[in-house]
Chains A and B, each alone.
Chain A
Amino acid sequence: MTDTTQIKTTPSALTRLWNSDVAWNFRRSWTARISSVLILILFAAALFAPLLATQNPYDISQLFLLDSELPPAWIEGGDPRYFLGTDEQARDLYSSILYGLRLSLIVGFASVALAAVVGISLGLLGGFVGGMVDGAIMRVADILLSFPAILVALLVNGIARGVLPPERHADAAIWVLILAIGLTNWVQYARTVRGSTMVERQKEYVQAARINGVSGMGIMLHHILPNVLGPVLVIATINLGMAVLTEATLSFLGVGMPATQPSLGTLIRIGNEYLFSGIWWVVIFPSVVLVALVLAVNLLGDWLRDALNPKLR
């Protein structure tokens, strides 16, 4: 047996992925391709922000107040050192956006991870234990769902701010945001995982394990997690778009990231205050990046949902 025949008889995981229905669908859908390229570019920009940026916008010593409120480089009065112009504190907008994108994505991913962990755990718990515990979890989920996400996030945010002393607000902002957004979005994971768990619990191997006095939980996890992986991935993708949007909204409302550590939403809020002075670039460029990010994630999420076709509704 040579290696070549082995490759022929058992295609590699990559080949199988390439030939799968999902991949076939991906190659045919231009929205999926464009959005994933866009997402890769934005992720790379966020990841390598310190390398790509021309200055560190958090370092006040690098700012020159004389250079404040400069328009983009290609406009009369622009400075080639500041490609997208500067804001009122003379921060280079291009660099601020890179760092802001980084913060927005960090909050987005962290809150999605928090929501997924909380949701999957509660779903497993509810589905496996059932009874009162399950009832209580699902009741809380129902109530949460009946309120708009932004309101719940605002409330968690407000409570956290009320508990923390005012001087800690700026440092804790990023954690408060992750907590507020994460605790708002766990319901869908919990419902999906709970459904799957309840189906699995009825199966014979779990019953057999129980009769033998072994906990079925360990074995079940083995069977449930692969089952819910697809739906969870779809929920997480769609959730990432929502989380980034919620972060931006809270920051825009002035209860998110502080001006000393601006996320995309904070940049837009700052820009909004100078809108009437004709300084449109401070508000437009971060908005464009934010919209591109959210749109790309949403398009990919939509496509993924159709391609995997899990019963989400």
Chain B
Amino acid sequence: MLGFLIRRIIQSVFVMLAVALIAFMMFRFMGDPVNSMVAETATTEERDAVRERLGLDQPLYVQYGRFVARAATGDFGLSWRNARPVSTLLAERFPATAELVLVAAGLSLVLGIPLGILTALRPHSFSTQALQLMSLVGISLPTFVTGILLILVFSVWLGWLPSFGRGTVVDVGWWSTGFLTLSGLKALILPSVMLCLFQLTLIMRLVRAEMMEVLRTDYIKFAKARGLTNRSIHFHHALKNTLIPVITIFGLQLGGLIAFAIITETVFQWPGMGALFIQAVSFGDVPVMAAYLVLVSLIFVIINTTVDLLYAVLDPRLRVEGARAAH
């Protein structure tokens, strides 16, 4: 188990170094950083002085090393667009995205798993076929279209829910939360529904496929041959085997949610990191793009490592192999 953990962490470090390399290349080769630092009228001497001060005259690997060292402390320099520190910009935006993603992830699990089980256990019933069709529509519906439809129905026509922003937020330390006010909670509903729908259909289909696969295995047949009740076979024997692979996929999904939050935040003008990233892409604001990339990659890597560890804890087969490897 310990060996496994160390291997995973070393792997993660390499992935992060690769991502940092991409971010560094963006910094170094997209546009001239010096241009953004000096006045347009600067002389060549002044430019060279800035170049030297920024360390741009050093060999590339030294620059890369410095970049990694600064990135590790969260220092990505100033945004080219509004000249504020990138780390401050991201820190301001992080809570909005985190709350949105967590609520959407929770919704997709709470609804997706039971629906997946239902459709696996009654493959021929009308409700299953209806859900299957709906999930196919759900996968084919572009998420932004879903969002627009939600706004059209619940904000424009019915006027029940707000269509943009976070409502009133409360600051808890540096974290601004929308969980504590009614308007904050109401503002969260439509964006999180939009964000969760796609993941919900994926989880539902995945649980269904896994469950049907497990129900065909010999050990389920043997459990039936021993006269165990359907309840025990479905919810004790099958579900446990179904959920182990679902956890892995859910980890990847969480990463997907962060990426899809970019779209949700654009539709609902949600003041999160995704909206910031889109602005950066359209303006070619390299420091913000690079910092977002590194931060999101870091979150991915942490999630993936956690999921792998969780998997090892949950699956007794892996648990023992891990224990053996540790001896």
Contacts and interface: CB of A to CB of B under 8 A. Distances in A.
Interface in B202-224: none
A214 B59 CA distance: 46
Contact of B140 (A146, A241, A268): A241
B263 A252 contact: yes
A254 B274 CA distance: 13
Contact of B148 (A154, A272, A295): A272
A291 interface: yes
Contacts of B149: 287
Interface string A206-224: 0000000000000000000
Contacts of A147: 255, 259, 297, 300
Interface in A237-276: 241, 245, 248-249, 252-255, 265, 268, 271-272, 275-276
Interface in B119-175: 136-137, 139-145, 148-149, 151-152, 156, 163
B266 to A, nearest CB: 5
A249 B144 contact: yes
Interface residues of A, number: 41
Bin the interface of chain B by size: 35 or more
Interface stretch (A54-62, A75-83, A118-126, A157-165): A157-165
B141 A291 contact: yes
Contacts of A150: 259-260, 262-263
- Binding site secondary structure of chain A: helix
A148 B256 contact: yes
Nearest to B255: A148
Contact of B278 (A166, A255, A295): A255
Interface stretch (B43-51, B176-184, B189-197, B282-290): B282-290
User: Considering the complex of A and B, which 6 residue pairs feature the smallest CB-CB distances, nearest first?
Assistant: A148-B259, A162-B30, A158-B281, A295-B140, A162-B284, A151-B259
5 contacts: A147-B297, A148-B256, A255-B282, A272-B144, A283-B148
Given A241-B140, A265-B142, A275-B148, 15 more contacts: A148-B256, A150-B260, A151-B262, A161-B281, A162-B286, A248-B142, A252-B266, A253-B262, A253-B266, A276-B156, A276-B163, A280-B152, A287-B142, A287-B148, A294-B140
Interface of A: 143, 146-148, 150-151, 154-155, 157-159, 161-163, 166, 241, 245, 248-249, 252-255, 265, 268, 271-272, 275-276, 278, 280, 283-284, 287, 290-291, 294-295, 298-299, 302
